[in-house]
Structure 1
């Protein structure tokens, strides 16, 4: 325990050293000239008596809404006439400080919205101290113009981005008089953000197009899980977060330590800030430094290259902030689970041209499974440098060290999982997995002008994996004897990715274009050693006796493999607005890939394999918006996935890539300004699947005539129904089956894919009165019957799991109790696709957390 505390103390100490310079960026307040239209407001108090005579004004809400020139920032208070303001500019930021006032939002004391409109990178409203509110609006190229209007609703700041003023012909300035916002002689205003800064509804996403595009303008289903959902559910794993998304199914783990992601009945790739994360064997996927999770459903090769047809999950990381922010959170849960996390950010110099962010956590956890435990340490520093008015460089890294007990779960007997206690462990207490994942990346972006920009990104990823445990070989279902093999492996996976995008906006007549041209290159290497697959004492699943018999590690290595993969991709995309109600999306990508593989058995000659191929992947979509809150869309998308390795067909030629194609139609609706829904129908097919050659007596001979089909309906809804009542819910019908095969597999359902699944998570937080800040949450998660393997030899039964929470937030702190599996339901989350690896869901679990922000 002392060693664990030392690690936690070391992590926090390092964090404080890294971010402490941000405190130095706080310069002394110097009142500057008043904002225009402040002549009618009294001057600040100049004596102690005057100051004491004034009451502290509470601002109870913050809203953003679009105008024809920019945005309005509304500070909701009925005492705006009692406020005095000072203002100043620092770099690209316009700052207003309001003494004798305090921000009291239902969700905390900080409002933050990134990129509310073009030309504005961030709007923040915070409590600078106990009696001062600070409003900061940061522009992309220069500080924006700000005007003040006094209204019954509160203080209204009219913000005009610098880019807007640059496009406006210069005229002789004339004095302006205060005016009240009015709907007269104006076009209807589309609300951009309202209420809290944190919500369940997200309006824009970058994953589908590599550009910040309104979700309603994307002709493909994309769902976003914002940070607020993760916080309310007490979620720290990506796998658990995806239960909120329709069509996402839990396929269990790989040997108990690495997660499978599945969308629409097929595998899905993981991305991080738009670049592929090669972390298939990199442990459980964390959310500590994640701002939101964007889920793109269906083929995505048009922009992202080789990928399975199910889609992709993109983790969008937290960005450095322009003002100091400090968050500390502690978690204690069932099964001896302890976790401490920090999130620290702010400027490192007075001009705020250098920003930093640092996320870290330490976790030590047991399990409801006997002998199973884990320990994890994670560090993620990030720095952002403003190299000029139009140029930024972001550098970040992350380091994960994980040690856990390898656990393959239970087994199947007959047509169901074995009837065993869910805590029963069928391995050896000494078996473990050690994982180290290191990432380094940078993002360079430059704006040539308001129409054209370029960005260049690079990431290097290093995964070191060591596994030491007996492998399961076969089960005698009559006696319960599980035979096992000795196993030890080491592998070092390295990935280097570089990506360059050029973005441009232009018009051809009345038709508007947003063009994307890009190139990326990835080099993957793997150095793996394995051994030795010799018999190890069996274990009886009904009456286990653990031998605890260790065996040598490196001395038993007898198989060696090296892989090198080079991938080149060239892509283009055009987002076309024919008229405001009709939009087209067209694009394509050409990929070239080359692979070298060498394998060697101990004492034998090395075997060399080489293959190369190329593939073009198109995408086409259309969006029609008959009204401002309805989008009808249709799209066609494709994917491909090379058949790598030593696989060959009967004439010793390498297999062609597996391909995917999807037709999708759907409707997206903004039911209210805070609540949105998506309904999608799709037909998705994976082709060129390798199957047994019916004309060969060799069981290893295969041909590429197989096809797998997934057809379905999906519904997602997320947002705020009334102030304080939030919801995120989904339903999916998936008909996933083998549509072409040379064996009796044709017509069978895909493993781990339920025909029906649904989820509902909702919270309500009291908005006013003595119980303001108290909230409750309820979750229902339904998964239908699934087959555990492709032979459809056994069924994982359906289940409904109930989760709940109670939380309380006040000022800058939040306390919560999350309850998972409230009624202690026994259920199975998925399988490895065999009869020897079936995974239980967790029983009744309590998680208490406390977080404080400064």
Structure 2
């Protein structure tokens, strides 16, 4: 079996090396100008050029049958060859000279800018890559036209005081934009206007049209046969969301999973755990004890719901989180902020980016954060956190980019197991009462380094290769509620014990993708082929002490304890080493203009070895599995999609049978249907989904030998979700969600757990956050935000012996931005509601929610 795995690893490595060598060969060929088709005169022209031409400037002729077929397939793309701006009786007339059929543009408004998006089009001006004209008419500050990815052109017409209105007409080979100014006064400058023009390097606001998480290709969300939700950077900033749970409140179907005493990111999606299923720019961050994710450098967060093994390997079936981080920019930008708030919060940040050389082929970005403060519950251990993330992008050529990035995070904070349950509810005691030791702590250091290399083989095919190394070293010492003695619910006596963990985790990840676009007759294809390899090493030292130090939860008396030091723990521990190789293939097929088929499959080869250091005993398991996905999208009109999909997932099973072998991998199977729509001229994106998701091959006790397991367990989650995101009117934004989940044990070997609800899974969730920024006048730049977040009842343990009650939390924000600075005030839990976030483990560790929290922030940008 190991030989099969070794062969798979060899194949993955060879493919990765070949792809990288191909990219470098193409780079060297391009840079040295030694292609066979170049003559001496061409070489002289290249050396005399001031800059390397952009791809959009090149017009290669077809020299092979394949190239000729490709050009025919691309003939439906509209070319904009000229732009004329002329005054008219209504204000202004912009004429776009086009070749090809008349396109169908869509419009939206961002600030004072009217945005016109033209699909299936490319800007092909004879003298420039883009178009700009300043102050062409009274009340119009700027007109610009820019190429966007995936053959789209964006025209932005910026008003001096308010967005203009437009009438769009197609006449012969022209697209005519009749512009009417809505300005109250004039005087805006080009510099002012550029601040609100939307380009591919500036913020997209609330609405994001495309995603790479669901398909690993840049795909329109309306064309994805599944539920993919995006929380953009503007929402994160408005809400001052410093932690992932603050972000997840905006999305249906996500719940918290305890968080190891509010020290780790642990959550569930669609009823099943998704802990350890966080990705960063499409690459998994698999370490279990990774510290709380830093949000300062996030451009957006993408949540893919349902099984994702077809593209990302062995995973639980609920879904994944992909963190998309900020990248270097062409224009220099220097930003800093300072947040001060409740419980001693002090949080300075800075963000620096720009070019490193004159021709802008080397770009950099550095994000850094320092944070200190106190846990809102009374511990002597303070929060001490430092984060830095450098990124360097090298534009090797017009077709090749290399990005190298790293991260360092140090985090120390108290471990807080919360309060116990009495009867079927959390104990009726003050929510800030602590039953651990004031010096309990968890200290974590995390290092990460990697690269992403992308090379365009030609206009239709590209190869991507990425590598990442991640190391997490964590240590914690805490006074935990002790079991089996636990809590005497009559007297209130809680038994406790000192426990200790010292995990070290390392991950090595290599992945290579090849993406191509081609046509078979009238049918267009986007093909994805990839291989990835993950090696993960984990070393755990864990010690559970004897029961000591009882305390009365109703009338606590805090005594000084003989607290052990770290040197008191001598624990042999155990090691886990796993190797996995995945090979996958996916095809997105445009059967017709309104029907899209997505078909994909993946083979995984997984080998895992567990070593008990004290006994030197070794346990191994090897599995091979196939994970398919099939989906279909029907678009009766451009802004409306109906979809249906089937997908499966797998994750290794750690339950052991009586013969010493592991059970078959746990499988997830989902059936999903849904509808998506873009409303208000594309400014509002809505998704309504219904799903049935099962998790099978779960180990249950063997009735003939209770020390071992058999595979008869099954859990099911089914529900309905609604998510809304976008801009209702200029300056008025909204993100909202509504979800229902029925998650239960459907089979458990005839045990008493059948029919029980899964723990920490709310039956209903709802959220609404809306913000408005005044667009003009003396108060322009003043904004308001308010949100309500509802979490329904949740089962507290597998036996359903207690329940966490539902709650409704209200947040608010007030901010004002002027020129290059901004001030903001955020209030979380505005009405100081008492609520409970989740359960760490069992009846003795319920995590209460924070009281009213106020944070003020001042930021400046140069």
* Per-residue deviation, residues 739-791 of structure 1 (Å, max 9, x unmatched): 11121100011111111110000011111111111111110111111111111
Q: Sort the Cα spacing of 1:187 and 1:738 in 2 relative to 1 into closer, same or farther, 3 A.
A: farther
For residues 758 and 254 of structure 1, the distance between their equivalents in structure 2, rounded to whole angstroms, comes to: 25
1:453 and 2:462 correspond:
yes
**Matched residue, 1:678:** 687
1:774 and 2:774 correspond:
no
Alignment gaps of 5+ in structure 1: 1-31, 33-65, 83-104, 121-136, 166-179
For residues 174 and 646 of structure 2, the distance between their equivalents in structure 1, rounded to whole angstroms, comes to: 35
Q: Displacement of 1:536 after TM fit? A: 3.1
Q: How does 1:189-338 map to 2 (within 5 A)?
A: 197-268=203-274, 269-338=277-346
Q: Displacement of 1:491 after TM fit? A: 1.6
1:466 and 2:478 correspond:
no
**Matched residue, 1:388:** 397
Q: Displacement of 1:112 after TM fit? A: 14
1:738 and 2:745 correspond:
yes
Q: Displacement of 1:365 after TM fit? A: 1.4
Q: How does 1:249-648 map to 2 (within 5 A)?
A: 249-268=255-274, 269-371=277-379, 373-473=382-482, 474-544=486-556, 545-601=558-614, 605-644=615-654, 647-648=655-656
Question: Would you say the 8 A contact 2:692–2:718 is kept in 1?
Answer: yes
* Per-residue deviation, residues 4-58 of structure 1 (Å, max 9, x unmatched): xxxxxxxxxxxxxxxxxxxxxxxxxxxx9xxxxxxxxxxxxxxxxxxxxxxxxxx
For residues 77 and 464 of structure 1, the distance between their equivalents in structure 2, rounded to whole angstroms, comes to: 66
Q: Displacement of 1:612 after TM fit? A: 0.5
Q: Displacement of 1:258 after TM fit? A: 1.1
Q: Displacement of 1:805 after TM fit? A: 1.0
Q: Sort the Cα spacing of 1:725 and 1:612 in 2 relative to 1 into closer, same or farther, 3 A.
A: same
**RMSD (CA atoms):** 3.3
For residues 847 and 492 of structure 2, the distance between their equivalents in structure 1, rounded to whole angstroms, comes to: 18
Q: How does 1:151-190 map to 2 (within 5 A)?
A: 155-159=142-146, 182-185=169-172
Q: Displacement of 1:420 after TM fit? A: 1.3
Q: Sort the Cα spacing of 1:138 and 1:267 in 2 relative to 1 into closer, same or farther, 3 A.
A: farther
Q: How does 1:129-140 map to 2 (within 5 A)?
A: none
Q: Displacement of 1:81 after TM fit? A: 11
Q: Sort the Cα spacing of 1:160 and 1:493 in 2 relative to 1 into closer, same or farther, 3 A.
A: closer
For residues 386 and 119 of structure 1, the distance between their equivalents in structure 2, rounded to whole angstroms, comes to: 25
Alignment gaps of 5+ in structure 2: 1-50, 52-75, 93-108, 153-166, 178-196
1:831 and 2:843 correspond:
no
* Per-residue deviation, residues 343-397 of structure 1 (Å, max 9, x unmatched): 1100000000000000000000112201153110000000000111111100000
For residues 662 and 726 of structure 2, the distance between their equivalents in structure 1, rounded to whole angstroms, comes to: 49
Q: How does 1:97-116 map to 2 (within 5 A)?
A: none
Secondary structure (helix, strand or coil) at the match of 1:335 reads helix
* Per-residue deviation, residues 290-321 of structure 1 (Å, max 9, x unmatched): 11000000000000000000000000010000
For residues 339 and 80 of structure 1, the distance between their equivalents in structure 2, rounded to whole angstroms, comes to: 51
For residues 781 and 758 of structure 1, the distance between their equivalents in structure 2, rounded to whole angstroms, comes to: 6
**Matched residue, 1:703:** 710
Secondary structure (helix, strand or coil) at the match of 2:758 reads coil
**557-566 vs 445-454, which deviates more?**
557-566
For residues 656 and 692 of structure 2, the distance between their equivalents in structure 1, rounded to whole angstroms, comes to: 30
Q: Sort the Cα spacing of 1:580 and 1:147 in 2 relative to 1 into closer, same or farther, 3 A.
A: farther
For residues 589 and 516 of structure 1, the distance between their equivalents in structure 2, rounded to whole angstroms, comes to: 11
Question: Would you say the 8 A contact 1:532–1:558 is kept in 2?
Answer: no
For residues 86 and 304 of structure 2, the distance between their equivalents in structure 1, rounded to whole angstroms, comes to: 37
For residues 290 and 210 of structure 2, the distance between their equivalents in structure 1, rounded to whole angstroms, comes to: 29
For residues 302 and 830 of structure 1, the distance between their equivalents in structure 2, rounded to whole angstroms, comes to: 31
1:787 and 2:800 correspond:
no
* Per-residue deviation, residues 214-239 of structure 1 (Å, max 9, x unmatched): 00000000000000000011111112
* Per-residue deviation, residues 707-762 of structure 1 (Å, max 9, x unmatched): 00000000000101011110000000100000111211000111111111100000
For residues 488 and 361 of structure 1, the distance between their equivalents in structure 2, rounded to whole angstroms, comes to: 29
Secondary structure (helix, strand or coil) at the match of 2:454 reads strand
For residues 718 and 527 of structure 2, the distance between their equivalents in structure 1, rounded to whole angstroms, comes to: 32
Question: Would you say the 8 A contact 2:345–2:372 is kept in 1?
Answer: yes
Secondary structure (helix, strand or coil) at the match of 1:704 reads strand
Secondary structure (helix, strand or coil) at the match of 2:428 reads coil
* Per-residue deviation, residues 138-158 of structure 1 (Å, max 9, x unmatched): 99xx97254769577564344
Q: Sort the Cα spacing of 1:117 and 1:626 in 2 relative to 1 into closer, same or farther, 3 A.
A: closer
Q: Sort the Cα spacing of 1:851 and 1:80 in 2 relative to 1 into closer, same or farther, 3 A.
A: farther
For residues 229 and 399 of structure 1, the distance between their equivalents in structure 2, rounded to whole angstroms, comes to: 25
Q: Sort the Cα spacing of 1:79 and 1:348 in 2 relative to 1 into closer, same or farther, 3 A.
A: farther
Q: Displacement of 1:422 after TM fit? A: 1.0
**245-254 vs 666-675, which deviates more?**
245-254
Q: Displacement of 1:549 after TM fit? A: 2.1
Question: Would you say the 8 A contact 2:79–2:121 is kept in 1?
Answer: no
Q: Displacement of 1:67 after TM fit? A: 9.6
Q: How many residues align?
A: 725
Question: Would you say the 8 A contact 1:74–1:155 is kept in 2?
Answer: no
Q: Displacement of 1:527 after TM fit? A: 1.6
Q: Sort the Cα spacing of 1:457 and 1:194 in 2 relative to 1 into closer, same or farther, 3 A.
A: closer
* Per-residue deviation, residues 787-832 of structure 1 (Å, max 9, x unmatched): 1111111110111111111111111111111111111000001112
Q: Displacement of 1:182 after TM fit? A: 4.1
Q: Sort the Cα spacing of 1:419 and 1:620 in 2 relative to 1 into closer, same or farther, 3 A.
A: same
For residues 683 and 694 of structure 2, the distance between their equivalents in structure 1, rounded to whole angstroms, comes to: 35
Question: Would you say the 8 A contact 1:806–1:818 is kept in 2?
Answer: yes
For residues 386 and 309 of structure 2, the distance between their equivalents in structure 1, rounded to whole angstroms, comes to: 34
For residues 532 and 778 of structure 1, the distance between their equivalents in structure 2, rounded to whole angstroms, comes to: 45
Question: Would you say the 8 A contact 2:77–2:120 is kept in 1?
Answer: no
Secondary structure (helix, strand or coil) at the match of 1:514 reads strand
Question: Would you say the 8 A contact 2:168–2:175 is kept in 1?
Answer: no
Secondary structure (helix, strand or coil) at the match of 2:401 reads strand
For residues 79 and 244 of structure 1, the distance between their equivalents in structure 2, rounded to whole angstroms, comes to: 46
**Matched residue, 1:729:** 736
Secondary structure (helix, strand or coil) at the match of 1:470 reads strand
**Matched residue, 1:649:** 657
For residues 246 and 356 of structure 1, the distance between their equivalents in structure 2, rounded to whole angstroms, comes to: 36
Secondary structure (helix, strand or coil) at the match of 1:228 reads helix
TM-score of the superposed pair, with normalisation by structure 2: 0.79
Secondary structure (helix, strand or coil) at the match of 2:222 reads helix
Question: Would you say the 8 A contact 1:483–1:538 is kept in 2?
Answer: yes
TM-score of the superposed pair, with normalisation by structure 1: 0.80
**Matched residue, 1:144:** 129
